Copies of this chain bind each other. A is one copy, B any other.
Amino acid sequence: MVDYASVEAVLSHVDKTLDKAQERLFTLLRIPSISTQSQHAADCRRAAEWLRDDLKSCAMIAEVRDVRWAKPGNPMVVAHSTNHRDGKPHVLFYGHYDVQPTDPEHEWKTAPFDPQMAEDASGRKVIIARGASDDKGQVMTFLEACRAWKEVHGELPVKVSVLLEGEEESGGENLLPFLKENAEELKADVALICDTTMADRRTPAITTSLRGTVAEEVILSAATHDLHSGMYGNAAANPIALLCQALATLRDRDGRVTLPGFYEGVTVPDDATRAQWRRLFPSDEIFLEGTGLSIAAGEKGFSAVEQTWCRPSCEINGISGGYEDEGFKTVLPATARAKVSFRLVPGQNPDRIQEAFRQHIRQALPKDVKAEFISHGRSEGFAVAKSSQFLPATLKALSEEWSNEAVTVGSGGSIPVAGEVREALSMDALMVGFAQADDRIHSPNERYGLDSFHKGIRSWVRILAALSEK
């Protein structure tokens, strides 16, 4: 039993030492650990080593562990608490230290790896840097909570293990084999994952459903070399036009994905859940607030929040071909390429959807044009059992910290670890995060509210206490 006074002492320590916590986060943010770009492999390792050393200062033993199953192979960080109360639940915390690329660079107002404290239009203090929100800021909320418990009471209220990944933004293909090989060491009573948002600025949330993903790159090759469009235009196959035609037909006029069998296994959430979401986002305009958009672009018959939280989708994330510079060039390019991702809900089969996509592209091509595919990862959708015994205590701790009732929400994002933890370690995962929808993650000028960071640390202090009462 952790008494009220013990928790208050830790919270008070968090408040008094916030400056130092922020300095530590800034140090981590200065490391450009972009996992999808191989030239940053050494930076990824440096981030892992910095976290290992930081975990050691939080009453844990910690190691950097090499991975060997798939490229590029950024290491895992694994830690276990040494000083904790006995007979309490054992939690496994997960986060990732790798970040997204920073393009388009010129849209950043400050350098992406030179973190800055700034004020947004409303006067809210925000930390601006690539990874501030996704996921370094979120990871550090948990580490700082552990450090505060240790510094105030010399021990943690529950047994804590930590797993930090370095390839979450680049396919994460090493995670599942790593979990399986180290299942005995990593198995706990519940996983805590910090990589999600709150429902809004004032409403804390546990994310109980996630979309999976199928990420594909397709490269079309037509002529052996670029041709002059005056000399061959009309007669020679144009790979950009073929790519546009193939991609344009991935959705029908009602926004539904056209791949055969795509919606097999997809279920609609119950009316109570849909009603709760409607209260959070009474209109599509409100869901899209801050993006500059106002009209739900996906499947007809579903609201914007439903389109992202519970409906599968297909997006084109990148396209290129031909002359892309200043001016004009009347070229018929030899190749064109696109990056396409599907977001899946629980029940959909990533392997079948990948194959249906490839078949769709191949069928759209004449015989003298070839398609090549590169897989950038596949994962299933995920839903937490609403019966999880740790759910109510965690919701209660969050509600206390934020003085507002915590809710359960869905997420349109893919956090494969949730499903992989269940598959490899047979345990549930609670996704608790303090990010905001307008944190601009994956975009220029990514930011993390200082309130998210500060009250995030305080939330974990309370959650660890609450779980020790289980």
List chain A positions with a Cβ less than 8 A from chain B: 36-38, 100-101, 103-104, 107, 169-171, 197, 211, 213, 215, 217, 222-238, 240-241, 243-245, 247-249, 251, 255, 284, 287-288, 291-299, 304-305, 307-308, 311, 313, 315-334, 336-339, 341, 343, 366-369, 376-377, 411-414, 437, 440-445
Known A-B contacts A328-B171, A368-B292; A413 and B319 likewise in contact (beta carbons under 8 Å): no
B329 touches A297 (CB 8 A): no
How near does chain B come to A73, taking the closest CB pair, in angstroms?
A: 14
Residues of B contacting A317 with CB < 8 Å? 229, 240, 322-323, 328-333
A291 touches B339 (CB 8 A): no
B291 touches A244 (CB 8 A): no
A231 touches B441 (CB 8 A): yes
How near does chain B come to A287, taking the closest CB pair, in angstroms?
A: 6
A313 to B443, CA, bound (A): 38
Residues of B contacting A235 with CB < 8 Å? 284, 287-288, 296-298, 304-305, 307-308, 412
A343 touches B284 (CB 8 A): no
Residues of B contacting A338 with CB < 8 Å? 240
A107 to B440, CA, bound (A): 37
How near does chain B come to A432, taking the closest CB pair, in angstroms?
A: 17
Residues of B contacting A213 with CB < 8 Å? 230, 330
22 contacting pairs across A/B (C-beta < 8 A): A36-B329, A101-B327, A103-B323, A213-B230, A215-B330, A222-B292, A226-B442, A226-B443, A226-B444, A228-B442, A231-B441, A240-B247, A240-B317, A244-B316, A247-B248, A294-B367, A316-B322, A317-B329, A324-B337, A327-B376, A328-B339, A329-B442
Residues of B contacting A339 with CB < 8 Å? 322-323, 328-329
Residues of B contacting A325 with CB < 8 Å? 37, 101, 103
A391 to B298, CA, bound (A): 61
Find A332's partner among B247, B315, B328 (CB 8 Å cutoff).
B315
* A-B interface, 7 closest residue pairs, ranked by CB to CB distance from nearest: A230-B413, A36-B327, A234-B298, A224-B292, A234-B313, A318-B322, A328-B376
Residues of B contacting A320 with CB < 8 Å? 319-321, 324
Closest to A322 in B: B318
Closest to A225 in B: B443
A36 touches B332 (CB 8 A): no
Closest to A292 in B: B224
B327 touches A231 (CB 8 A): no
A217 to B337, CA, bound (A): 19
Between A320, A329, A341, A367, the greatest number of chain B beta carbons within 10 A of the residue's beta carbon is seen for: A329
